[in-house]
Structure 1
């Protein structure tokens, strides 16, 4: 999630746990503690792919953060100004403020390595967009009330309860979308294909559905208010250039571990571009990388990976996305872009 949301969550937890003893300082201390895991954003790992795939790893490990919570608890029990607070209370404070950060991140699409150093795939439950006002506002307002009126009220607890309830709703909403999608995939003979369901920007009412069918990428938008059996897909070509190189190169292996099968690779002007299909929308993806160049003999040679500039999303489509909540023909995946890859069997027809 975004830094503001993480700080709000930590501040609310700090107020709920230590508010009676530290007052307003508990909110500020909790907000700082909750943002510590994202300090890895400032670490340069030497290449764009390394920076991308090592983010949310060491500093987001529940093992490392639990150890850090124990160390910080020991420090607090030895500080004269903090000794009056029991060690158990300090431990709950540090552990919850730190560990809830990667757990909340795991509800987004990016991928969080909760079990580092265990080499398991990144965890991404994909039930909430990285910025969602309906999650953030209850705890933000609760913190503002607590800072103004004092921490002794129940504002932070109410804010935490409302945000947690909304997170629970996002899980239920995704289940409802999957219930709509599954019959459509069976009907199209795609039941065994990889399927990704995730919320569209800033809401949990309209969801993006991505199906990988070898060299095709099927995309759909599904609203919780859609009538049953009305799912339509836009179908795109999914180029996978230089498959052997991707298998053999470090950057290809790393991106494959992090994003596959929701990725594609294509040659552009003698460079090999790998795009993560998970973040963004067709044609306006957030992350793509130049990982190789052709030499004089036409062979691929690895280069220090660089981020590739991608088209920015058309903010004018946000109104169409809002309308898509209740109008199935308001927006299609192809309206975002990638029309040069659109296949003739596209089913969605919008008025955007």
Structure 2
């Protein structure tokens, strides 16, 4: 999740566990601990793909954070012995461990079990979702203005947790909804990813990886009874094969579970993580190799600038989310005329 939400989660947990003893300072300590795992962003691993795939790595590993919580609890107890070591340990462990667990619900991928196994990405909540964050922030504000009001942060935590549970239920409902349409296309067994569109859990995006094409579906809970619209994108398997021959190409495939698209860009091989953002506005595209005329030659990866997002995109998403528009064409990020599909 975004840094503000992680800080709010940490502050809320600290306030709930130790707010009556520490007062408002519990919020500051909790926010700092909630931000700690994300400080790995300052590390330069040498290439764009390395930086991308090693973020949320060791600093988000349960195998690292759990023992680290004992060390931090010891330091905090020496600094503020007003709280017992056991309670400091509870504060530290809760905050450090819930940070990566919350991140795992997003689409980016979190290496919970680093250095073992692939990243975990449940993909049930967008990286910024006001309905998750606002209850936490409201509880914190009440705590700040009314003193050590632990009930407010506890209620905020409960509401946010319930919303997270709703995101899982909504994800399953959407997955079941698109099943008949995918079966009709012979894609019922193809790898798929079901995730919410930005900032909400009402409108969802389903990405399905066929052998020769990728299918995208946008559907939501406020849709009418109209048919589900499938939009196809080419996969370029020959470029995927070329990327698989490259070390950084294989690293990207591992990190994204294969949800990538490939392009030739000015004589270079580019790979885009299609999980993040939306088509036409994917933020992570990497140059992996250069075409020397006889094939692709690997080069240290670099990242292309993220595409500009049109100012009217939020209006388009709102129209589609509320059901006032029946179809959203992802290739053009536009709403076709009523009764028409995507070209």
TM bracket, shorter-chain basis: over 0.9
SS in 1 for 2:233: strand
In the alignment, structure 1 residue 292 sits paired with structure 2 residue 289: yes
Please, which of 300, 304, 323 is the counterpart of residue 304 of structure 1?
300
Cα offset, 1:116, TM superposition:
0.5
Q: TM-score by structure 1 length?
A: 0.91
Alignment of 1:46-125 (within 5 A): 46-77=46-77, 79=78, 81-118=79-116, 120-125=117-122
Cα offset, 1:328, TM superposition:
4.8
For the 8 Å contact 1:49–1:255, the answer to whether it is kept is yes
CA distance in 1, matches of 2:153, 2:308: 37
For the 8 Å contact 2:223–2:326, the answer to whether it is kept is no
Alignment of 1:117-266 (within 5 A): 117-118=115-116, 120-227=117-224, 230-266=227-263
CA distance in 2, matches of 1:201, 1:268: 28
Structure 2 gap ranges (5+): none
Counterpart position of 2:8: 8
Structure 1 gap ranges (5+): 338-346
SS in 1 for 2:331: helix
CA distance in 2, matches of 1:330, 1:267: 30
Alignment of 1:317-328 (within 5 A): 317-325=313-321, 326-328=323-325
Query: Which region of structure 1 is more displaced relative to structure 2, 263-272 or 105-114?
Result: 263-272
CA distance in 2, matches of 1:104, 1:262: 21
- Give me the CA root mean square deviation: 1.9
Cα offset, 1:281, TM superposition:
1.3
SS in 1 for 2:169: helix
Cα offset, 1:336, TM superposition:
1.9
Cα offset, 1:117, TM superposition:
1.3
State the 4+ residue runs in structure 1 displaced beyond 4 angstroms.
none
For the 8 Å contact 1:241–1:267, the answer to whether it is kept is no
SS in 2 for 1:333: coil
CA distance in 2, matches of 1:59, 1:179: 35
Cα offset, 1:152, TM superposition:
3.2
Counterpart position of 2:309: 313
Query: Which region of structure 1 is more displaced relative to structure 2, 235-244 or 303-312?
Result: 235-244
Alignment of 1:18-29 (within 5 A): 18-29=18-29
SS in 1 for 2:120: coil
CA distance in 2, matches of 1:229, 1:178: 17
Cα offset, 1:311, TM superposition:
2.1
Cα offset, 1:250, TM superposition:
1.1
CA distance in 2, matches of 1:313, 1:56: 26
Q: TM-score by structure 2 length?
A: 0.94
For the 8 Å contact 1:329–1:349, the answer to whether it is kept is no
Counterpart position of 1:342: none
Cα offset, 1:76, TM superposition:
3.0
For the 8 Å contact 1:195–1:211, the answer to whether it is kept is yes
CA distance in 2, matches of 1:214, 1:330: 25
For the 8 Å contact 2:16–2:150, the answer to whether it is kept is no
For the 8 Å contact 2:106–2:126, the answer to whether it is kept is yes
